[in-house]
Amino acid sequence: MKLCSLCSRIRSIRVKQELDYYEDLCAECRKKELLLRQVKGVKKERLKLV
């Protein structure tokens, strides 16, 4: 059983196209993280470095 690293809920391992950083997150936290990064002006090129 895999837990989300942010909220500790059980996460699904459905999404494999995401980057390693997001694989530890459940769908909800992943959405929040992606939104936060977009709002902060962090572009996709930057996400590849994480």
- Single-letter amino acid code for the residue at 20: D
pTM attached to this predicted model: 0.49
pLDDT score at 31: 86
Closest CA to 23 of 11, 40, 32, 35: 11
pLDDT in tens, 1-48: 678 888 888 776 555 554 555 667 788 888 888 888 777 665 555 555
Q: Provide the residue ranges of all domains of the chain, joining segments of one domain with +.
A: 1-50
